[in-house]
């Protein structure tokens, strides 16, 4: 389950909209407790997919950006607990490409659908332990950190 404070949910949706028609992306920070990923902050990052014309349907996060976010998170007592990205004009469903380029099970993969530049559906996914696919996880949007 992903616990997502409403202001951060809105921040992620706004980043997806601002990135349109490209995919926007970033990292979720917080803590992992008893199977729940509890978000405390979201850090938008550049989509560094190398082919500009493919950015409407591809994203990549630079490893150096991840490193910097993780170090900053560590200094604040937080962990990287997930990745968010947007699907412009496409459902918020984890795709075969998301699967092919996923990392370890346990991270939340929050996907926001953007339709014509406006945020729509947001759904979160977890990689299955055998890496064979994604399963959807519940998202609980809360008023503030709980």
Partner 1 sequence: MTTIRIPTPLRPYSGGNSTVTVSGDTVGEALDHLTQQHPQLRNHLFDGEELRSFVNIYLNKEDVRGLQGAQTALKSDDTLMIIPSIAGGM
Q: Give the binding-site size for partner 1 (rule: CB under 8 A).
A: 35
Alpha-carbon span 60 to 101, nearest angstrom: 9
Is residue 23 part of the annotated active site? The answer reads: yes
Shortest gap between Cβ of 89 and partner 1 (angstroms)?
9
Closer CB to partner 1, 6 or 117, in the complex: 117
Q: What is the per-residue binding string for partner 1 in 48-87, x denoting contact by CB under 8 A?
A: -x----x--xxxxx-xx-xx--xx--x----xxx-x-x-x
Q: How many CB atoms lie within 10 A of CB 93?
A: 14
Smallest CA-to-CA distance from 30 within 38, 18, 20, 22 is with 38
Sequence-distant (6+) residues with CB within 8 A of 74 are: none
Q: Which of 18, 21, 101, 128 is close enough to bind partner 1 by CB under 8 A?
A: 101
Burial string for 34-53 (b: 16+ CB within 10 Å, else e) reads eebbbbbbbbbbebebeeee
Which residues in this chain contact partner 1 in the complex, by CB under 8 A?
23, 32, 49, 54, 57-61, 63-64, 66-67, 70-71, 74, 79-81, 83, 85, 87, 90, 94-95, 97-98, 101-107, 109
């Amino acid at each position: 389950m992903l616990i997502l404070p409403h202001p951060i949910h809105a921040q992620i949706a706004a980043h997806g909209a601002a990135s349109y028609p490209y995919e926007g992306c970033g990292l979720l920070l917080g803590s992992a407790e008893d199977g729940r990923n509890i978000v405390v902050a979201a850090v938008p990052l550049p989509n560094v997919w190398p082919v500009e014309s493919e950015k409407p349907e591809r994203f990549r996060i630079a490893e150096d950006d991840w490193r910097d976010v993780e170090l900053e998170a560590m200094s604040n007592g937080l962990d990287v607990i997930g990745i968010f990205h947007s699907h412009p004009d496409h459902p918020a469903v984890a795709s075969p490409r998301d699967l092919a380029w996923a990392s370890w099970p346990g991270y939340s993969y929050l996907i926001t659908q953007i339709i014509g530049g406006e945020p729509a559906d947001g759904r979160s996914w977890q990689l299955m332990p055998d890496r064979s696919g994604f399963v959807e996880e519940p998202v609980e949007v809360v008023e503030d950190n709980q």
